[in-house]
Amino acid sequence: MSDNKTERMYINGEWIEGPGGQTYTAVNPATGENIKHFAKGDKSTAAMAIEAAYGAMPAWSKTPAVERGRLLREVARLMRERCDRIARVITLENGKPIKESRGEVNGAAAHFDWYAEQGQRIYGRTVPPTFANKRHIVLHQPVGVTAAITPWNFPIMLWARKLAPALAAGCTVIARPATATTLTAIEGTKCCVDAGLPKGTVNLVTGKASEVVDVFVKSDLCRKITFTGSTEIGIGLAERAAKYMKRLSLELGGQGPALVLSDADVEVAVKGVAGGKLRNNGQSCIAVNRCYVEQQIAEKFIPKLVQEVKTWKVGNGLEEDTDCGSMINEEGLNKVLEHIEDAVKKGAKLLCGGKRLMNDGLDKGYFLEPTVLTNVTDEMMCMQEETFGPLLPVMTVKDRDEAIQRANNTKYGLSAYLFTTSTKNLFEVGEALEAGTIGVNDPVPSTTIAPFGGYKMSGLGRECGVEGIEAFLETKHLSINIE
Which residues are known to be catalytic?
251, 285
Nearer to ligand NAP by Cβ, of 52 and 225: the residue is 225
Core vs surface per residue 361-370: b (16+ CB within 10 A) or e: ebeebbbbbb
Distance CA 124, CA 473 (A): 11
Task: Pick the closer one to ligand NAP by CB: 330 or 363.
Answer: 330
Residue 160 binding ligand NAP, by CB under 6 A: no
- Beta carbon nearer to ligand NAP, 205 or 298: 205
Going residue by residue from 183 to 222, which x/- string records binding to ligand NAP, judged by CB under 6 A?
--------------------------xx--x---------
Q: Does 25 bind ligand NAP (CB under 6 A)?
A: no
Convert residues 439-458 into a mask of x (bound to ligand NAP by CB under 6 A) and - (unbound): ---------------x----
Rank residues 420 and 458 by Cβ distance to ligand NAP and give the closer one: 458
The smaller minimum CB distance to ligand NAP, of residues 150 and 172, is found at 150
Segment near ligand NAP (CB under 6 A), from 109-117, 247-255, 298-306, 372-380? Answer: 247-255
Q: Shortest gap between Cβ of 124 and ligand NAP (angstroms)?
A: 29
Q: Does 18 bind ligand NAP (CB under 6 A)?
A: no
Residue 208 or 271 having the CB closest to ligand NAP? 208
Check binding of 151 to ligand NAP (CB under 6 A). yes
Q: Buried b vs exposed e over 178-195: b needs ≥16 C-beta within 10 Å? A: bebbbbbbbbbbbbbbeb
Q: Shortest gap between Cβ of 432 and ligand NAP (angstroms)?
A: 21
Choose the stretch contacting ligand NAP; rule: CB under 6 A; options: 127-135, 245-253, 334-342, 355-363. Answer: 245-253
In the bound state with ligand NAP, the residue whose beta carbon lies nearer, of 150 and 316, is 150
What is the total count of residues that contact ligand NAP (CB under 6 A)? 29
Q: Does 281 bind ligand NAP (CB under 6 A)?
A: no
Q: Is 323 in the site for ligand NAP (CB under 6 A)?
A: no
For the bound state, the minimum distance from the C-beta of residue 155 to ligand NAP, rounded and expressed in Å, comes to: 9
In the complex, the smallest distance separating the C-beta of residue 157 from ligand NAP, rounded to whole angstroms, is: 9
x-marked contacts with ligand NAP along 377-396 as a string, rule CB under 6 A: ---------x-x--------
Residue 434 CB, nearest approach to ligand NAP (Å): 15
* 254 interacts with ligand NAP by CB under 6 A: yes
**Site for ligand NAP contains 90 (CB under 6 A):** no
Residue 179 near ligand NAP by CB under 6 A: yes
Q: Which of 230, 262, 296, 447 binds ligand NAP (CB under 6 A)?
A: 230
Least distance (Å) between residue 482 CB and ligand NAP: 46
- Report if residue 416 touches ligand NAP, rule: CB under 6 A: no
Among the listed residues 290, 292, 291, 297, the one whose alpha carbon sits nearest the alpha carbon of residue 262: 297
Three state DSSP letters for the chain: CCCCCEECEEECCEEECCHHHCEEEEECCCCCCEEEEEECCCHHHHHHHHHHHHHHHHHHHHCCHHHHHHHHHHHHHHHHHCHHHHHHHHHHHHCCCHHHHHHHHHHHHHHHHHHHHHHHHCCCEEECCCCCCEEEEEEEEECCEEEEECCCCCCCHHHHHHHHHHHHHCCCEEEECCHHHHHHHHHHHHHHHHHCCCCCCEEECCCCHHHHHHHHHHCCCEEEEEEECCHHHHHHHHHHHHCCCCEEEEECCCCEEEEECCCCCHHHHHHHHHHHHHHHHHCCCCCEEEEEEEHHHHHHHHHHHHHHHHCCCECCCCCCCCCECCCCCHHHHHHHHHHHHHHHHCCCEEEECCCEECCCCHHHCCEECCEEEECCCCCCHHHHCCCCCCEEEEEEECCHHHHHHHHHCCCCCCEEEEECCCHHHHHHHHHHCCCCEEEECCCCCCCCCCCECCCHHHEECCECHHHHHHCCEEEEEEEEECC
253 touching ligand NAP, by CB under 6 A: yes
Task: Give least dist CB 83 to ligand NAP, A.
Answer: 21
Q: Are 477 and 454 in contact (CB under 8 A)?
A: no
Contacting residues toward ligand NAP, per CB under 6 A: 149-154, 158, 178-180, 209-210, 213, 228-230, 233, 236-237, 251-254, 285, 386, 388, 414, 454, 459
